[in-house]
A and B are shown apart, each in its own frame.
Chain A
Amino acid sequence: MKKLSVVIGVALATLASVAHAEYPERAVKMVIPYGAGGATDISARTIAEPLGNAVGKPLVMANVTGAGGATGSVSVQNAKADGYTMLFARVGSHSVNPAMKATLPYTLDDFRFVTVYEINPVACAVTPASGIKSMDDLIAKVKEGGVSYSSSGVGSLLHLAGAMVLKEFGIDNPLEAAVHIPQKGGGAAATAVLNGTATFLCTNSSAVAGFVANEQLVPLMVTTPEPVVGFDAPTANDLGKPALNQLVGWTGIAGPDGLPDDVAAKWGEWMAVATEDAKFNETMTSRGSVIQLMNPVDANEFIQTQYETFRQLVDDLGMRIEG
Chain B
Amino acid sequence: MSFIDSVMAGLSLVSSVEAFLALFVGICIGVVGGAIPGLSATMAVALTLPFTFSMQPITGILLLLGVYKGGIFGGSIPAILIKTPGTPASSATILDGFPLAEKGEAGRALGMALWASCTADLVSNLALIFFAGFLASFALQFGPPEFFALILFSLTIIAGVSGDSLLRGAIAALLGLLLATVGLDLVYGTNRFTFEDPNLMGGLNFIAVLIGLFALPEIIAMAWNPVAHLGQTRSLGKSKVTITDYKRSFKSIVRGSLIGVFLGSIPGIGAAPSAFLSYSEARRKSPNKDNFGNGEIEGVAASEAGNNGVAGATLIPLLALGIPGDVITAIIIGAFMVHGLQPGPMMFVLNVDIVYGLFIGLIVSSVFLFLVGSVAIKGFKFVADVPKRILMPAVLVLCIYGVFAVNNNIFDVGVMFAMGWVGYVMMRMRVPAAPFLIAFILGPLLEDNFRQAMLMSGSDPMILIRGPITWFFWTLTVIALVAITRTVVKGTVTAGN
Binding site for B on A (CB under 8 A): 31, 35-38, 42, 45, 62-68, 70-71, 74-75, 100-101, 103, 105, 148, 153-155, 179-185, 187-188, 190-192, 194-197, 206, 209-211, 213-216, 283, 286-287, 321-323
Q: Which residue of A lies closest to B331 (CB)?
A: A37
* A197/B456 in contact, CB under 8 A: yes
Q: Which 8 A-B pairs have the closest CB atoms?
A: A66-B202, A154-B189, A214-B344, A323-B190, A36-B46, A37-B331, A67-B201, A210-B342
Q: Which of B441-459 contact A (CB under 8 A)?
A: 448, 452, 455-456, 458
- Which chain A residues border B455 with CB–CB below 8 Å? 148, 179-181
Q: Which residue of A lies closest to B405 (CB)?
A: A62
Q: Which residue of B lies closest to A198 (CB)?
A: B456
How many Cβ-Cβ contacts under 8 Å join chain A to chain B?
152
Q: Which residue of A lies closest to B42 (CB)?
A: A36
- Which chain B residues border A38 with CB–CB below 8 Å? 330
* B202/A71 in contact, CB under 8 A: yes
Given that A188-B268, A286-B340 are contacting pairs, would A100 and B199 also be in contact in the complex, using a CB cutoff of 8 Å?
no
Judge whether B477 is part of the interface by a CB distance below 8 angstroms.
no
Q: Which of B330-360 contact A (CB under 8 A)?
A: 330-334, 337-338, 340, 342-347
* B323/A63 in contact, CB under 8 A: no
Judge whether B321 is part of the interface by a CB distance below 8 angstroms.
yes
Distance in Å from the Cβ of A29 to the closest Cβ of chain B? 9
Q: Which residue of B lies closest to A286 (CB)?
A: B340
Contact for B188 among A185, A192, A323, CB less than 8 A: A323
Given that A182-B187, A323-B188 are contacting pairs, would A214 and B331 also be in contact in the complex, using a CB cutoff of 8 Å?
no
Q: Provide the bound-state CA to CA distance between A264 and B203, in Å.
A: 34
* A216/B198 in contact, CB under 8 A: no
Contact for A37 among B46, B184, B198, B321, CB less than 8 A: B46
8 contacts between A and B (CB under 8 A): A37-B46, A154-B184, A188-B267, A197-B144, A210-B344, A213-B342, A321-B189, A323-B185
Distance in Å from the Cβ of A279 to the closest Cβ of chain B? 9
Given that A67-B198, A154-B184, A181-B452 are contacting pairs, would A101 and B189 also be in contact in the complex, using a CB cutoff of 8 Å?
yes
Judge whether B242 is part of the interface by a CB distance below 8 angstroms.
no
Judge whether B324 is part of the interface by a CB distance below 8 angstroms.
yes
Contact for A67 among B53, B202, B331, B334, CB less than 8 A: B202
Distance in Å from the Cβ of B348 to the closest Cβ of chain A? 10
* A287/B198 in contact, CB under 8 A: no
Contact for B334 among A42, A70, A179, CB less than 8 A: A42
Distance in Å from the Cβ of B463 to the closest Cβ of chain A? 11
Write out, one digit per residue, whether chain B residues 120-141 have a CB within 8 A of any chain A CB (1) or not (0): 0000000000000000000011
Q: Which residue of B lies closest to A283 (CB)?
A: B338
Given that A66-B201, A216-B321 are contacting pairs, would A194 and B144 also be in contact in the complex, using a CB cutoff of 8 Å?
no
Q: Which residue of B lies closest to A323 (CB)?
A: B190
- Which chain A residues border B239 with CB–CB below 8 Å? none
Q: Provide the bound-state CA to CA distance between A211 and B323, in Å.
A: 9
- Which chain A residues border B268 with CB–CB below 8 Å? 188, 191
- Which chain A residues border B151 with CB–CB below 8 Å? none
Q: Which residue of B lies closest to A31 (CB)?
A: B408
Distance in Å from the Cβ of A36 to the closest Cβ of chain B? 3
| Residue from B142, B323, B331, B448 having most chain A Cβ neighbours under 10 A | B323
Judge whether B186 is part of the interface by a CB distance below 8 angstroms.
yes
Q: Provide the bound-state CA to CA distance between A7 and B163, in Å.
A: 74
Q: Provide the bound-state CA to CA distance between A70 and B345, in Å.
A: 36
Given that A36-B49, A148-B455 are contacting pairs, would A187 and B334 also be in contact in the complex, using a CB cutoff of 8 Å?
no
| Residue from B43, B53, B198, B201 having most chain A Cβ neighbours under 10 A | B198
Given that A66-B203, A323-B190 are contacting pairs, would A287 and B338 also be in contact in the complex, using a CB cutoff of 8 Å?
yes
Judge whether B308 is part of the interface by a CB distance below 8 angstroms.
no
Additional 15 contacts, C-beta under 8 A, given A64-B407, A188-B268 = A36-B45, A45-B50, A66-B203, A67-B198, A154-B185, A179-B455, A181-B452, A182-B186, A182-B187, A185-B330, A190-B323, A196-B143, A210-B343, A213-B344, A213-B346
Judge whether B482 is part of the interface by a CB distance below 8 angstroms.
no
* B345/A214 in contact, CB under 8 A: yes
Distance in Å from the Cβ of B206 to the closest Cβ of chain A? 11
Binding site for A on B (CB under 8 A): 42-43, 45-46, 49-50, 53, 140-144, 183-191, 198-199, 201-203, 205, 267-268, 321-324, 327, 330-334, 337-338, 340, 342-347, 407-409, 448, 452, 455-456, 458
Q: Provide the bound-state CA to CA distance between A220 and B338, in Å.
A: 25
Distance in Å from the Cβ of B449 to the closest Cβ of chain A? 10
Q: Provide the bound-state CA to CA distance between A287 and B338, in Å.
A: 7
Contact for A62 among B143, B184, B408, CB less than 8 A: B408
* A65/B407 in contact, CB under 8 A: yes
* A195/B141 in contact, CB under 8 A: yes
Distance in Å from the Cβ of B167 to the closest Cβ of chain A? 32
Q: Provide the bound-state CA to CA distance between A189 and B411, in Å.
A: 30
* A148/B323 in contact, CB under 8 A: no
* B407/A215 in contact, CB under 8 A: no
Q: Provide the bound-state CA to CA distance between A183 and B456, in Å.
A: 12
Given that A68-B184, A321-B188, A321-B190 are contacting pairs, would A209 and B342 also be in contact in the complex, using a CB cutoff of 8 Å?
yes
Distance in Å from the Cβ of A94 to the closest Cβ of chain B? 15
Q: Which residue of A lies closest to B411 (CB)?
A: A71
- Which chain A residues border B452 with CB–CB below 8 Å? 181-183, 197
* A37/B53 in contact, CB under 8 A: no
- Which chain A residues border B183 with CB–CB below 8 Å? 67
Q: Provide the bound-state CA to CA distance between A292 and B184, in Å.
A: 33
* A71/B201 in contact, CB under 8 A: yes
* A194/B46 in contact, CB under 8 A: no
- Which chain B residues border A182 with CB–CB below 8 Å? 186-187, 189, 452
* B142/A195 in contact, CB under 8 A: yes
Given that A75-B409, A210-B342, A210-B343 are contacting pairs, would A65 and B202 also be in contact in the complex, using a CB cutoff of 8 Å?
yes
* A153/B407 in contact, CB under 8 A: no
- Which chain B residues border A210 with CB–CB below 8 Å? 322, 333, 337, 342-344
Distance in Å from the Cβ of B372 to the closest Cβ of chain A? 24
Q: Provide the bound-state CA to CA distance between A216 and B140, in Å.
A: 12
Q: Provide the bound-state CA to CA distance between A290 and B303, in Å.
A: 46
Distance in Å from the Cβ of A169 to the closest Cβ of chain B? 22
- Which chain A residues border B346 with CB–CB below 8 Å? 213-215
- Which chain B residues border A65 with CB–CB below 8 Å? 202, 407
Q: Provide the bound-state CA to CA distance between A170 and B365, in Å.
A: 55
* B202/A70 in contact, CB under 8 A: yes
- Which chain B residues border A70 with CB–CB below 8 Å? 198, 201-202
* A214/B334 in contact, CB under 8 A: no
- Which chain A residues border B408 with CB–CB below 8 Å? 31, 62-64
* B334/A37 in contact, CB under 8 A: yes
* A187/B189 in contact, CB under 8 A: no
Distance in Å from the Cβ of B60 to the closest Cβ of chain A? 13
Q: Which residue of A lies closest to B187 (CB)?
A: A182
